[in-house]
Amino acid sequence: GAGVSQSPRYKVAKRGQDVALRCDPISGHVSLFWYQQALGQGPEFLTYFQNEAQLDKSGLPSDRFFAERPEGSVSTLKIQRTQQEDSAVYLCASSLRRLSGGFFEQYFGPGTRLTVT
Amino acid sequence: AQSVTQLGSHVSVSEGALVLLRCNYSSSVPPYLFWYVQYPNQGLQLLLKYTSAATLVKGINGFEAEFKKSETSFHLTKPSAHMSDAAEYFCAVSSQGGSEKLVFGKGTKLTVNP
B112 φ, ψ (degrees, to nearest 5)? -115, 120
For A63-112, the pLDDT digits (tens) are 999 999 999 999 999 999 999 999 999 999 999 865 555 667 889 999 99
Cα angle value B28/A109/B110 (rounded, 5°): 70
| Over residues B37-48, mean pLDDT | 90
* Distance to chain B for A72, nearest Cα, Å: 17
How are beta strands A53-56 and A44-50 bridged, if at all? Answer: antiparallel
How far is the C-alpha of B5 from the C-alpha of A49, rounded, in Å? 27
Is B45 an 8 Å CB contact of chain A?
yes
Alpha-carbon gap: B51 to the closest alpha carbon of chain A (Å):
8
- Tens digits of per-residue pLDDT, A18-44? 999 999 999 989 999 999 999 989 999
Contacts of B105 in chain A (CB under 8 A): 42
- Choice among A14-18, A95-99, B10-14 with the minimum mean pLDDT: A95-99
The CA distance from A116 to B39, in Å, is 24
